[in-house]
Structure 1
Amino acid sequence: MKISSYHKQLGDNVFFHKGINASYPFLQQWDRVYISTLFTYNWKITVDTINFYKAIIDDIDRIKVGGILATLKYDDLWEATGVVPIKGLLNRPGMLGDDNEIIVDELIPDYSLFNDTPFKYSLVGDSYLGYSTRGCKNKCKFCGVPEIEPQFQDYINIKEYVNGIKNKYGEKTHLVLMDNNILASKSFNKIIRDIMELGFEKNSKLNNKQRHVDFNQGVDARRIDEKNIHTLAKIAINPLRIAFDSIKLESVYRRGVELAAQNGIQNLSNYILYNYNDSPEELWKRLEINIQLNRKYGLNIYSFPMKYIPLLDTNRKYISSPNWNWQFIRGVQRILNVLKGAVMPREDFFYRAFGESEKEFREILYMPESILMNRGRELQTAEIDWKNKFRKLTQNERDELLSILCGNPSRKGLMNSIASIKNKKLHSILTYYIPKRPEKNDYSALLDLEA
């Protein structure tokens, strides 16, 4: 959106498209093609997209590639495509190869970019999108921010920025700030004053609609204290996102949520990292802690379990063994597919979906997809029968069951394995796992899906 503003400021026409567009009208001679890259696990589609546009552009220097993947895998992407990527932020003049003093990152984004296209993004419609800080003082091993935004910028004047959007594109109801660590800023109080002066104080409305402020990258629970949470509660924060990446942070996380509740913040949200240095039991415990806090303080905490993928991996297949395996990762994904990705605050819903205990959660992860994804409020016959058979298995038999399931993600492989099983209990329970659909829906394809 800012690159679009940059070119329109220079008098150029800008057209937006997502991915590859092979339609004839699109294959005209563009002056430039910009490709924004996302996560490193999007490697193949990113390389394919760059190479597609290389074929229709006669000068490779007119293809500009930047973003997360381009920064983190700079050399690899250059080698794979021949296009020299642009690293990090566009925070200096001339980074796009033009002889001017315009700093792209400081421009007002082009909110009209998606007009007359089939691509609609809900946040763009009625939210101011921006930053009040840049970078992060933490150096978490699973995070790319230190590489993408290496310098921590303590303060950005969002009043001038927001008013610029308002004057050009009209007033927006909400404010979404993508700061990576707002509480690390020494200018935190000044930023909150700016937000309030922009009309986003607590309980503020625009045209009778409640306004929201969302630091959508979350706040660091370790930095929450009585003073800054009291200050944060003065604005229309909704939701307050607090990361809960490890069970080791339980006491810190609980205290952060409790302080939020004491200051009248009721709507919270968080990403729950799993498949990192944790176990299924630890994932369940973190989710259940939110249920406990909801009950105790009358809160609405929505959790979003997020599968860890190493920072430089080019696909989503990573499994943190021995605590995690293919069956368990798929089990979590199956549950989240039913829940549309979110673990809701409702207590009865949580315990039915994830089990009443860590032990039951592990049992659920063993379940066949046909049973797991079709559970209702009450136990059905198939689930009861499967549970009875599963609970009769010894630990060695459960280990063997898991080995068979993880080693045979395809229908054909599973069928062959079942045919060779002599253990009657295992043979009987394995029949629940046979996909009803043919080989074209091979389970192995699911290995590349994020859980």
Structure 2
Amino acid sequence: MVWPKKMVHWTENNTAYLSVPFTWNLPEAYSRCVWYQQLGFQVRAGGPAVELMPNYLSGLADVGGHVDALRRHNPNATFTSRGCIRNCPFCAVPKIEGALVELRDWEPKPIVCDNNLLACSLRHFDTVVDTLKHLADVDFNQGLDARLLKQHHIDRLRELHLHCVRFAWDNIHLESTVMNAIDRLLAAGLPQSKIRVYVLVGFDDTPDDALYRCQTLKDRGI
């Protein structure tokens, strides 16, 4: 299933729920809150955009609390951990989710949305792999941290029916780390077609810098 790159909303009894992933969805969310209020619903709103800008919907919706909205965005998605050990200045995860926490109870689904799975303990990582072994098209959708990739991770990843493995090349200084991670996966037998890399463009870089990273990956067939 393709992710809807927009707000999702639904009703349960007399409550309307909005889950807003991106800040550019907030104007639409505002209008939807007004519409639901006019219909007589109580309105609750959440999601990353609301966490970052809670005052935007002030007076229109109750903000905060936990509602499991992930399945509304993609029924094949799950989290096995929350948060991250990094504090990247371009990333909202530290503000929204805080420190890394391994979840004890999570639903086995092929799309794993953890923000830094490799920062989890090896025991947790092994549990994730063992739980997902029977599923097809396993995808660690938010990417794996190339700086933390161990041989143990590679060996276990080979046991999965992978859709792909994703890394991120956020700045030029990570070149050797990202290239090394790619080389190690290829050496372990992962097809080149199953390796993908996110490239961050427009944050503390130059057009030449961004082009170099994109072209380097293209030249490698990634």
RMSD of aligned alpha carbons: 2.8
Contact 2:19 2:45 in 1 (8 A): yes
* Aligned 1:195-206 pairs, distance under 5 A: 195-196=132-133, 199-200=134-135
Percent of aligned pairs with the same amino acid: 25
Contact 1:176 1:213 in 2 (8 A): yes
Corresponding residue of 2:61? 83
Corresponding residue of 1:444? none
Following superposition, the deviation at residue 289 of structure 1 comes to 1.5
Distance change >3 Å, CA 129–CA 275, structure 1 → 2 = same
Following superposition, the deviation at residue 76 of structure 1 comes to 3.6
1: distance between equivalents of 2:105 and 2:35? 40
Corresponding residue of 1:69? 49
Task: Encode CA deviations 1:109-166: one digit per residue, 9 max, x unaligned.
Answer: 5xxx7xxxxxxx8x64xxx4212222211111111112222242224444xx33xxxx
Q: 2:33 aligns with which of 38, 50, 55?
A: 50
Corresponding residue of 2:177? 252
Q: Secondary structure at the match of 2:198?
A: strand
If you compute each CA radius of gyration, which structure gives the higher value, 1 or 2? 1
2: distance between equivalents of 1:33 and 1:64? 6
Corresponding residue of 1:132? 80
2:207 is the alignment partner of 1:269: no
Corresponding residue of 2:4? none
Q: What amino acid sits opposite 1:288 in the alignment?
A: Q
Corresponding residue of 2:120? 185
Contact 2:45 2:64 in 1 (8 A): yes
Q: Secondary structure at the match of 2:154?
A: helix
Q: What amino acid sits opposite 2:175 in the alignment?
A: E
Q: Secondary structure at the match of 1:274?
A: coil
1: distance between equivalents of 2:79 and 2:103? 9
2: distance between equivalents of 1:38 and 1:225? 32
Aligned length: 211
Corresponding residue of 2:214? 287
Task: Encode CA deviations 1:153-209: one digit per residue, 9 max, x unaligned.
Answer: 224444xx33xxxxxxxxxxx71111111100102123222222xx14xxxxxxxxx
2: distance between equivalents of 1:256 and 1:288? 18
2: distance between equivalents of 1:155 and 1:231? 20
Q: What amino acid sits opposite 2:110 in the alignment?
A: L
Contact 1:192 1:231 in 2 (8 A): yes
Following superposition, the deviation at residue 230 of structure 1 comes to 2.3
Following superposition, the deviation at residue 238 of structure 1 comes to 2.2
Q: TM-score, normalized by length of structure 1?
A: 0.43
Distance change >3 Å, CA 288–CA 48, structure 1 → 2 = same
Corresponding residue of 2:156? 231
Distance change >3 Å, CA 157–CA 64, structure 1 → 2 = closer
2: distance between equivalents of 1:36 and 1:245? 27
1: distance between equivalents of 2:17 and 2:127? 36
Following superposition, the deviation at residue 19 of structure 1 comes to 6.9
Contact 1:225 1:256 in 2 (8 A): no
2: distance between equivalents of 1:230 and 1:292? 26
Distance change >3 Å, CA 18–CA 184, structure 1 → 2 = closer
Corresponding residue of 1:175? 110
Corresponding residue of 1:218? 143
Distance change >3 Å, CA 18–CA 134, structure 1 → 2 = closer
2: distance between equivalents of 1:251 and 1:285? 14
Higher RCO (CA 8 Å, separation ≥ 6 residues): 2
2: distance between equivalents of 1:39 and 1:18? 11
Q: Secondary structure at the match of 1:142?
A: coil
Q: Secondary structure at the match of 2:63?
A: coil
Q: What amino acid sits opposite 2:179 in the alignment?
A: R
Corresponding residue of 2:18? 35
1: distance between equivalents of 2:189 and 2:81? 25
**Would you tell me which structure has more helix in proportion to its own residues?**
1
Unaligned segments of structure 2, at least 5 residues: 1-6
2: distance between equivalents of 1:108 and 1:276? 28
Q: Secondary structure at the match of 1:64?
A: strand
Distance change >3 Å, CA 42–CA 108, structure 1 → 2 = closer
Q: Secondary structure at the match of 2:17?
A: strand
**Would you tell me which structure has more strand in proportion to its own residues?**
2
* Aligned 1:341-420 pairs, distance under 5 A: none
